[in-house]
Amino acid sequence: MKFFFIKSILLITLVFILGITIRSFLPYMVSAPLNYVKHKTFEDKKDKLDILFLGTSRTHNGFSPTVFEKELQKISNTKYSAFNYGIGGASMGESVALFHRVLEDENYKGKYLVVELAAVTHSLSDQFFGENLHTTKNKYWLDKQMLEFSLQNTKGFDTQLYNADQKRDFTKNYMLLYISNLFNIGIWNDAIPTFLDEKN
């Protein structure tokens, strides 16, 4: 029995190290093909951009950088380069995580970041946080910094808004998503098809 536990601990440690190693080589935005394409486009353009728009599907579907650039040039007589980094179906956590990542990116030379504000409570709906915990899209952004941010939000909710049982469930789900991301669980399901499409 003792050897069984030793082998189990060694196996878990090996899987943990392997998972973290693999995750470190995968692109941040591999969560869905469309997001990955946006990520790649941003990576190619980021040193030439002036204005970046972040948000949910409202930003993704309802905003044209080309029209914005033309109208801004008419008003200011200055040419700006804009990019729409809105993500369809994004949660507030996802948007905040991307915001931090862009801010910390030394190669992004832009002057402005325009962020759509979305309700944190909306991010706790079943679309993001109940039925779809298994989807990569809901976990890829949950690194240590964002886990702490999410747990602080949960802790700060008024008990009239969410009771103690709901808060406990939120905390549990955030922890599960963080561990899934850390161990790279399910990431390959999105990564492999995306990489194969890119090569074709």
In a domain, 196, yes or no: no
Q: How buried is residue 172: exposed, middle or buried, by Cβ count under 10 Å (0-12/13-18/19+)?
A: exposed
pLDDT at 132 over 70: no
pLDDT of the residue at 65? 92
Q: Is 26 helix (H, G, I), strand (E, B) or coil?
A: coil
pLDDT at 30 over 90: no
- Distance separating alpha carbons of residues 109 and 41, to the nearest angstrom: 15
In a domain, 63, yes or no: yes
The letter for the amino acid at 16 is: F
In a domain, 178, yes or no: yes
- The whole domain housing 141 covers 27-183
pLDDT of the residue at 17? 86
pLDDT at 4 over 80: yes
User: Element (H or E) spanning 82, and its range?
Assistant: strand 82-84
Q: HSE on the CB side for 35, CA within 13 Å?
A: 24
Residues 6+ apart with CB under 8 A from 58: 86, 116
In a domain, 14, yes or no: no
List the Cα angle 134/123/137 in 5-degree steps.
Answer: 35
Confidence band, pLDDT 50/70/90 cuts, at residue 166: confident
> Per-residue pLDDT tens for 109-128?
888 999 998 777 777 776 66
What predicted TM-score, i.e. pTM, was given to this entire model? 0.80
Confidence band, pLDDT 50/70/90 cuts, at residue 198: low
Number of domains in the chain: 1
In a domain, 171, yes or no: yes
> Per-residue pLDDT tens for 45-65?
999 999 999 998 889 998 899
Q: HSE on the CB side for 44, CA within 13 Å?
A: 6
Structure tokens at 53: 């728009």
In a domain, 198, yes or no: no
In a domain, 168, yes or no: yes
DSSP 125-139: SHHHHTTTTTSGGGT
In a domain, 3, yes or no: no
- Distance separating alpha carbons of residues 51 and 49, to the nearest angstrom: 6
Q: Helices marked H in 26-64 — which ranges?
A: 33-45, 57-62
